[in-house]
Amino acid sequence: MFCREFCVALLFFLINQTIYSQLDDVGIKIDNAPSYVSRDSSGFLIIEGNSPLIDQSIEGGAIEIFGGDIQSITFTVYHGSEISTIDGNIFIQPNGENIISTFLAVFENRTLSFSYKVISVGNLDVRSILIFPIETELPGLAKQMEVISSTIPKPNIISREEWGAENSKGAYSYHPYFDKLTLHHAACCSADDIEEGKNQVYWIQNFHQNGRGWNDIGYHFLIDRAGNIYQGRPETVLGAHVGGANTGNIGVCLLGCYHPPETSLPCTQEITHESREAIVKLFSWVSDTYGQNPSLLLGHRDYFGTTSCPGNNVWIELPRFRAEIFDFIQDYFEIPPISIFKAPYPNPFFNEVAFSFELKDKMDFKMNIYDILGRKVNMVERIDATSGRLELIWDGKDFNGKKLGSGVYFADPIPSEDIGPIKMILLKK
């Protein structure tokens, strides 16, 4: 008896933790296993079903479908004595098997329901029904938030122009303040490199704008599995990623599916080292720039408990992310401007010697070369060297390109007060 009750409870939990593509971030599921009827008609399959009663104002709804070659989808909304028929927008997800169909129309202050009619070639399964509640948050002030600090460098971010973003369909509202940081996963869209990432981010924007009816992509940043970071909306404006808690909230979405209880999708991915590093660097920059405490970082599910996003495999990592963000910020202030990453190699050398440094910030880097008598014989430089790893080569020649004689030489990196002269031995063949 106990086992049966426990198993039923566990099954109910897993069903209600099921996630589907982008749907957790755009609406509320009102039926995870809808019933429907199907019939053949002249080589086509006609699927018809109904939503449960809806006792709240909405600005649209959706169904998710698996399989089938969809010819058309029509929604009929029953709103009191009014009946509205609306053609569904159809979005084929990047995995090629799941389809989302939405309708966009505002219905307020009356109990309603809607039916759907799908005409398809081939079998399909209707997986879930959603509604899009009307956003009740007040917009932010018409004033852009100011930068509080610019100590931690901004990580490399792929701009909207680079991934081919469409323009916003309307004016943004600015955050009146910042007090939330949120991590999501896309579920629908996993990308292992920058080209896949650009395509997936564009697909999400298209769905958010034309399927959900938002001005723009809902997230402020997105991260693929190679650690590439993409700019969504400007981070200073309100996003659309946690309904009811978007004000003051900067949202980041991981491309990938990280919730193993989901069995209908390949949703068992583990976060990559590159994605983890990008999360820490991005939220460290956001926290420093806009005065946010890393302890504010939450998963989507932590707000209202209506979703499993960002998936179990990511959500369980959040305490570690918060600690690593704290450590990154603290360690950054203790990092010297220039440090030696690896000793010169080879040393002694015949033709050339390689130097490897770690730069805290972008800078004009110079390295003077001196002989044993303290005479400056050459200089190696890199203008606008980016922060991070810097590799330099000296070919053992003087300013005039003449090979120097065998002996002891010293390299002195500038600007640096923490590194003494680096000793090298040149052997002339």
Average pLDDT, the chain: 87
Most confident of 6-10, 228-232, 242-246, 384-388: 228-232
Q: What is the reported pLDDT for 151?
A: 80
177-224 confidence digits (pLDDT tens): 889 999 999 988 889 999 999 999 999 999 999 999 999 999 999 999
Hey, where are the domains in the chain? 2-133, 157-332, 338-426
374-403 confidence digits (pLDDT tens): 889 999 998 888 888 889 999 999 999 999
295-315 confidence digits (pLDDT tens): 999 999 999 887 889 999 999
The CATH number of 2-133 is 2.60.120
Q: Which of 267, 327, 235 is nearest to 18 (CA)?
A: 267
- Reported for 43-47, long-range contacts at CB under 8 A and 24+ positions apart, including other chains, are 43/121, 44/71, 44/119, 44/120, 44/121, 45/119, 45/120, 45/121, 45/122, 45/123, 45/124, 46/117, 46/118, 46/119, 46/120, 47/116, 47/117, 47/118, 47/119, 47/120, 47/124, 47/126
Weakest mean pLDDT among 45-49, 109-113, 141-145, 230-234:
141-145
CATH architecture of 157-332: 3-Layer(aba) Sandwich (3.40)
The DSSP H or E segment spanning 133 is strand 125-133
CATH 2.60.40.4070 for the 338-426 domain, yes or no: yes
pTM for the whole thing? 0.73
